[in-house]
């Protein structure tokens, strides 16, 4: 039976690194993104030509249940099953909570937190039929400790952490493992708002002395998928000793 992984927010950064890591180990993929259609199509072409895997792509808002429902239905119709779900899609919002609009709050909540509910709800029945499955949630250290001027983002990632712990317990009797990676400063476009001076100051605060790379997150995710089935409901921090 072929191995199938569904990865959200896969057009660039951590998502694209995840797609490459899983493709080179033989996974066929279902990938989605919201805005970066050209990047996603270029990634699909690269993965199919380099690793000779099959890649489905979907463009839409992962914070909308109807989009997720259609994407997963099409994935299951095409591939027949989903072995791995990686909830990676996310957006950031920097600013004072008192200046944040209700619309901005709902948007970040839907994309960063509700999407994990949507995808998990729709994938779990298939995993139950298979008798196995892995769900990996990409979280953040701000979900562990919170960050000033990133209250909504921190709340979402804190929710993802609790979601992971609870769902892992719920699904453990069914041989489905649920874990999360709480990322520190990873060198992606999400951190493009920092100047070079600010980036260096931030790197100096990290005991490892540098930002993490998206490929390091992807390798850890694959280790969680291929590793010990007794490991579940865990929030694994990948931050170079920062927090």
pLDDT digit string (tens) for the chain, length 243 residues: 899 999 999 999 999 999 999 999 999 999 999 999 999 999 999 999 999 999 999 999 999 999 999 999 999 999 999 999 999 999 999 999 999 999 999 999 999 999 999 999 999 999 999 999 999 999 999 999 999 999 999 999 999 999 999 999 999 999 999 999 999 999 998 777 778 898 899 999 999 999 999 999 999 999 999 989 999 999 999 999 999
Residue 168 CA, distance from chain mean position = 16
Size (the chain), residues: 243
For the annotated catalytic residues, the residue numbers are 153
| DSSP-based helix, strand, coil % in the chain, nearest 5 | 50, 15, 30
| Fold assignment, 4-238 | Rossmann fold (3.40.50)
């Amino acid at each position: 039976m072929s191995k199938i992984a569904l990865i959200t927010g896969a057009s660039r950064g951590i998502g694209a690194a995840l797609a490459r890591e899983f493709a080179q180990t033989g996974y066929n993929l279902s990938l989605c993104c919201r805005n970066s259609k050209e990047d996603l199509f270029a990634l699909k072409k690269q993965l199919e030509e380099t690793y000779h895997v099959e890649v489905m792509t979907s463009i839409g808002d992962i914070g909308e249940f109807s989009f997720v429902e259609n994407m997963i239905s099409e994935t299951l119709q095409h591939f027949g099953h989903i072995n791995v779900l990686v909830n990676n899609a996310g957006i950031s919002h920097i600013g004072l909570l008192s200046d944040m609009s209700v619309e901005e709050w709902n948007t970040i909540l839907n994309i960063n937190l509700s999407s994990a509910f949507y995808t998990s709800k729709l994938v779990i029945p298939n995993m139950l039929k298979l008798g196995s499955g892995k769900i990996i949630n990409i979280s953040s250290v701000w979900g562990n400790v919170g960050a000033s001027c990133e209250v909504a983002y921190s709340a979402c990632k804190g929710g993802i952490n609790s979601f992971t712990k609870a769902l892992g317990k719920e699904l453990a009797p069914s041989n489905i493992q649920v874990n999360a990676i709480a990322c520190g400063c990873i060198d992606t476009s999400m951190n493009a708002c920092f100047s070079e001076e600010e980036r260096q100051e931030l790197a100096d605060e990290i005991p490892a002395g540098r930002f993490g790379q998206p490929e390091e997150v992807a390798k850890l995710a694959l280790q969680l998928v291929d590793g010990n089935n007794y490991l579940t409901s865990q929030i694994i921090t990948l931050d170079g000793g920062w927090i």
